Amino acid sequence: MKPSSTPDPESLRERALAHLARREHSRFELSRKLAAAGYAAEDIAPLLDAFEEKGWLSDRRFAESWVADHRAKAGRVKLAHELRQRGVNDDVIASVLEDNRDSELERARAVWQKKFGHPPVDAADKARQMRFLQSRGFAAETISLALQDAGRGSGEFSG
């Protein structure tokens, strides 16, 4: 933790840039990290405003990056929840997730295939598979479609 003296504004700027150099951050995340390092909120806010004006900090860009990194293993529900916890605005979340909507069913199928690879053998097995996909953040409709495809025995699945 920093000493109680007023931190140097240049060190605040350098620390913020160092965080952004490692990876994209939401405004909320970066603000929280800087506050934890001992910087005052009244110093952090104007700096982050300036970063946003220059395009160095963007919640939309952060959300796009986050979704690109995590969409292979998670559905829209889970991705939206994780972005909300990182302080991203619901409008930005909806927009970014809408851009990825068309691959949701394919991603659910891929997650299911990797974990199970065979159609459910009974109602208990189906419920277990559904709970797993639900825990990964896939919507009920997407889960139903993915399991319907599995139950058809289209040759992709070994029973």
Question: pLDDT for 110-137, tens place per residue?
Answer: 999 999 988 899 999 999 999 999 999 9
Average pLDDT over residues 97-119: 88
pLDDT confidence of residue 152? 65
**Residue 159: pLDDT band with limits 50, 70, 90:** very low
SS3 category, 67: helix
Q: pLDDT category, 44, cuts 50, 70, 90?
A: very high
pLDDT of residue 150: 72
The pTM score is 0.78
- Tokens 């300036």 belong to 50
For the ranges 8-12, 71-75, 88-92, 144-148, the one whose mean pLDDT is highest: 88-92
User: Looking at residues 9-19, what average pLDDT do you find?
Assistant: 91
Closest to 56 in 3D by CA, of 30, 89, 81, 76: 30
Contact 127, 134 (CB under 8 A): no
Q: Which residues contact 51 (CB under 8 A, 6 or more apart)?
A: 16, 20, 57
Does residue 60 surpass a pLDDT of 70? Answer: yes
